[in-house]
């Protein structure tokens, strides 16, 4: 028996779907996982939409999900759709991004685990088994960020504040941010005021720089 509770070998192996838009990444993951007893890569998806469709067809225990797929649906959006179905497979995020802006949507969408792509092969295999067993597996840096949020809730940005700041960093005006997030311009200004207070800054540029340095938004 493997540590995930499924017998080693093909028929009883943990069945994995690789969802990543880079063929080289999928090939690397397949090569790493292919050496592990009790694990079997049975499908691949190059888009988030394809991952949702394939997961809905069944026969998948764990989805290894990237977060960014270029155009179309994000990995977090795909995770939410996959995990909302009855008897859904577990979703293990495997990405290069470790900012709050990436971690929070993925966890809230229902991801069972969150790993960074620089994780050692043995860590990846263990995380797949952990996810298949319904337990959480987090990269140390991700766990540290989540613990920091829990310990200092008054100084960390909420998910909505993070979303606003990400769009500020993209150069959008308050009006455009409101349109994108379905908020009034006044609400956007209120979010920005709270962001400035929490970060100890007084401008959009300073907020972006400080949030980037703190790992709240992606570099």
**CATH code of residue 202:** 1.10.10.10
CA dist., res. 111 & res. 125, Å (int): 17
Torsion over CA: 77, 74, 215, 128 (sign): positive
Phi, psi (degrees; rounded to nearest 5) at 63: -105, 125
pTM, full prediction: 0.78
Banded model confidence at residue 185, pLDDT cuts 50, 70, 90? very high
Query: What range does the domain containing 110 cover?
Result: 14-148
Residue 176 sits in the same domain as residue 139: no
Last residue of a domain, one of 148, 179, 200: 148
Q: What pLDDT score was predicted for residue 11?
A: 57
**φ/ψ bin of 158: left (φ > 0), alpha (ψ from -120 to 50), beta (otherwise):** beta
**Average of pLDDT values for 25-37?**
94
Q: What pLDDT score was predicted for residue 149?
A: 80
Residue 21 sits in the same domain as residue 58: yes
Residue 95 sits in the same domain as residue 192: no
CA dist., res. 34 & res. 54, Å (int): 20
Contact between residue 95 and residue 117 where contact means Cβ atoms under 8 Å apart: yes
Banded model confidence at residue 2, pLDDT cuts 50, 70, 90? very low
């Amino acid at each position: 028996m493997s540590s995930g509770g499924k017998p080693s070998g093909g028929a009883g192996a943990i069945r994995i779907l690789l969802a990543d838009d880079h063929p080289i990444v999928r090939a690397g993951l397949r090569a790493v996982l292919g050496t592990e007893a009790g694990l079997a890569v049975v499908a691949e998806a190059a888009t988030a939409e394809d991952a949702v469709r394939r997961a809905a067809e069944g026969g998948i225990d764990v989805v290894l999900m990237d977060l960014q797929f270029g155009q179309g649906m994000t990995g977090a959006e795909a995770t939410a759709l996959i995990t909302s179905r009855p008897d859904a497979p577990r979703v293990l995020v495997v990405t290069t991004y470790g900012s709050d802006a990436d971690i929070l949507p993925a966890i809230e969408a229902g991801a069972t685990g969150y790993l960074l792509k620089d994780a050692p092969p043995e860590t990846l295999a263990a995380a797949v088994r952990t996810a298949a067993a319904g337990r959480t597996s987090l990269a140390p840096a991700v766990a540290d960020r989540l613990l920091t949020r829990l310990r200092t809730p008054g100084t960390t940005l909420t998910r909505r504040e993070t979303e606003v700041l990400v769009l500020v960093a993209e150069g959008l005006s308050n009006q455009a941010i409101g349109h994108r997030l379905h908020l009034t311009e006044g609400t956007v200004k209120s979010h920005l005021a709270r962001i400035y207070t929490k970060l100890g800054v007084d401008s959009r540029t300073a907020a972006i720089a400080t949030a980037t340095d703190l790992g709240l938004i992606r570099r």
